Amino acid sequence: MLLCLTTPLNEVNLWVLGGVGLVAGLLGSMLGVGGGFIIVPILSLALNLPIKVAIASSLVAIVANACTAAGIYTKAKLTNIKLGLLLETATIPGAIVGGFAAAFIAPSILSAFVGLALIYVAYTMVTRQHFISTDTQPDDHLHPTEPSNVSNNLSSSLMDSYYDQNLNKVVTYKVAHLPTGLGTSFFAGILSSLLGIGGGIVNVPVMHMVMGVPMKAAIATSIFMIALTAATGAFIYQYYGNIYPFIIAPLTIGIVIGARIGVELTQKVKGLVLRRIFGVLLFLVAILMFLKTVNVL
């Protein structure tokens, strides 16, 4: 089933699409959230594309972003591949559920969901000091020792370490609360396909604040997961005819360039001020999404 675009092909500015991809790739790779929270609102609001086309385009672009960033993060040994693959056993089924559910949900409802997701991201960036600024593993009292059982043994096997350029030392960590992580990963998969945002807005804070994964490792692992999750959702949107190559191409070029820049910045710079400023902007974009939902725009 093909959608009729409300914006004619000759009115879609390819340079704007490339610029959107560049910014999304930069911030998405830095924060481990893919960049869909930038792409979807701009394609929907500024370029007046149908929300499902915006989400489908975002998912394809996110795959390019995640593959680019994940390769660099993995080379730097920031990615916990075992943890990412384990969580993906829950995230991919969620992405399948979300992808098929999107075909039966009204565009206005999807717009409202996108707005809610943006508010969540903005709130996390602006108010949660622990999430924003801490690069090392949270204090032990936030993650009490789990009982000695199969889950605990699995958690121990997921122990990993990496060299932090900012701290100039090797950071070693264990992974806690796997059942909670798997449950939230399923939810993240649903959001990924339903909203085109990659699922990182759930994966990063949960891995960091609940599972005890240091911030940079959580970002790198989230990007690795997003590459698989977003691809699952993109295939489903392609099945329903919501993917258009003339939109995808410039987005992908921009997002790959932005992702490479963002990864380098993540390893060397703390993004406290950037994230707070961007969080405020997200609140504004979320308001615009809600106004569009009620047909004010």
pTM of the predicted protein model: 0.76
Domain span at residue 157 reads: 13-293
* pLDDT(132) > 50: no
Of residues 286, 231, 261, 252, the one with CA closest to residue 17: 252
Does some domain include residue 188? yes
Does some domain include residue 103? yes
pLDDT per residue as tens digits for the range 32-72? 777 887 888 888 888 888 888 888 999 999 898 889 899 98
Rounded to the nearest 5°, which phi and psi values hold at 116?
Answer: -65, -40
Does some domain include residue 170? yes
Does some domain include residue 203? yes
Alpha carbons 7 and 51: distance in angstroms, whole number: 12
**Quick one: tokens of 282?**
């997200």
User: CA neighbours within 13 Å on the CB side: how many for 189?
Assistant: 24
Give the pLDDT of residue 145: 46
Does some domain include residue 7? no
Does some domain include residue 5? no
Helix segments in the chain, DSSP class H: 14-31, 36-41, 51-75, 81-102, 107-127, 129-133, 150-157, 178-195, 200-205, 215-239, 245-268, 272-293
pLDDT per residue as tens digits for the range 229-276? 888 888 888 888 888 988 999 999 999 999 999 888 877 766 555 566
pLDDT per residue as tens digits for the range 144-194? 444 445 556 777 788 898 888 777 889 899 999 899 999 999 988 887 887
Give the pLDDT of residue 101: 85
Does some domain include residue 1? no
The tally of domains found in the chain comes to 1
Does some domain include residue 4? no
